[in-house]
Amino acid sequence: MANDYTHSIYMPIPWEIFHRDTRVLAQRIIAEHHRYDGIIAIARGGMIPACIIARELDIRTVEAVSVASYDDRAQGAPRMLKGVDTDLVGDGDNWLVIDDLVDSGVTASVVRNLLPRATIATVYAKPEGQAAVDLFAVPVQSELWLLFPWDAELKPNEPLARHHAGPSKGA
């Protein structure tokens, strides 16, 4: 069943907050006292946090897997766009998979099937997808649609009153 997020509450996340939350995830990973051979970013959203995590964990080997499950803001069936080099990563044993958000858990499940022994970690996690990942930094409510810094435009906005009423008097 496809989820339609067109009526969600939008929550912009500035770069500074995203970086802070990603470092929180890195601290949780470090607390696990496990050293990974490499990181696999889930493209596209997981690429930026994977770079931050790679730096914080001092890991130089970073791969990517690409799974598409969203078309704009509607979720549909997942499609594998790019797999990983199984000669390098095998079944994921001792590899860390990073994504920005687990929503329904569909993408994480596809990656889990591909790399059953990998550790999957996300910066943000909605309740429906939390069981699909091993670690996450920040829980978020189901109705929130996160606007990541690379997805949002920085531009002035109109006062809210102008969206709900006609032109203001006495301007």
Which residues are designated catalytic?
99-100, 103
Residue 133, Cα to own-chain centre: how many angstroms?
A: 11
- Torsion 146-148-151-154 (CA) sign: positive
Q: Which residue has the tokens 């959203």?
A: 45
Q: Give the DSSP H or E segment for 95.
A: strand 95-102
- The DSSP secondary structure of 16-71, one letter per residue, reads HHHHHHHHHHHHHHHHTT---SEEEEEETTTHHHHHHHHHHHT---EEEEEEEEEE
How many helices, marked H, and strands, marked E, lie in the chain?
5, 8
Tell me the one-letter amino acid at 69.
S
